[in-house]
Amino acid sequence: MAGMVVEYDTEAGAFYVRVTEEPVARTVEVSTFVSVDLDAAENVVGLELLCLPSAVTAQERAVLEDRHPAAVEAVAEVERLTRLSA
């Protein structure tokens, strides 16, 4: 997905992937470690990971795939970047 921006907060140990520049209307907590920010039209604005992408469980991925497919692409982008930096 073009235009994604990945940030890493070293103090929080969190990744944030901004998918669009739309304002966040609400946040959906998929789990303790995965949250999705949505705009007013329920489109994904961003994804927060409080873990490495490799720690995202199959169940969490299934929820993202079912409800927020753009967030799956965001997880894949973080995975790609963490592989490059390893």
49: helix, strand or coil? strand
- The domain locations on the chain are 5-85
- pTM score, whole prediction: 0.90
State the DSSP H helix or E strand holding residue 35, giving kind and residue range, or none if neither.
strand 34-38
Per-residue pLDDT tens digits of the chain, which is 86 residues long = 458 999 999 999 999 999 999 999 999 999 999 999 999 999 999 999 999 898 999 999 999 999 999 999 999 999 988 887 65
CB of 23 closer than 8 Å to CB of 52: no
How many of the other CB atoms lie within 10 Å of CB of 68? 22
- Give the C-alpha distances (Å, rounded to integers) separating 35 from 9, 45, 54, 84, 86: 15, 11, 16, 24, 25
Which pLDDT does position 86 carry in this prediction? 56
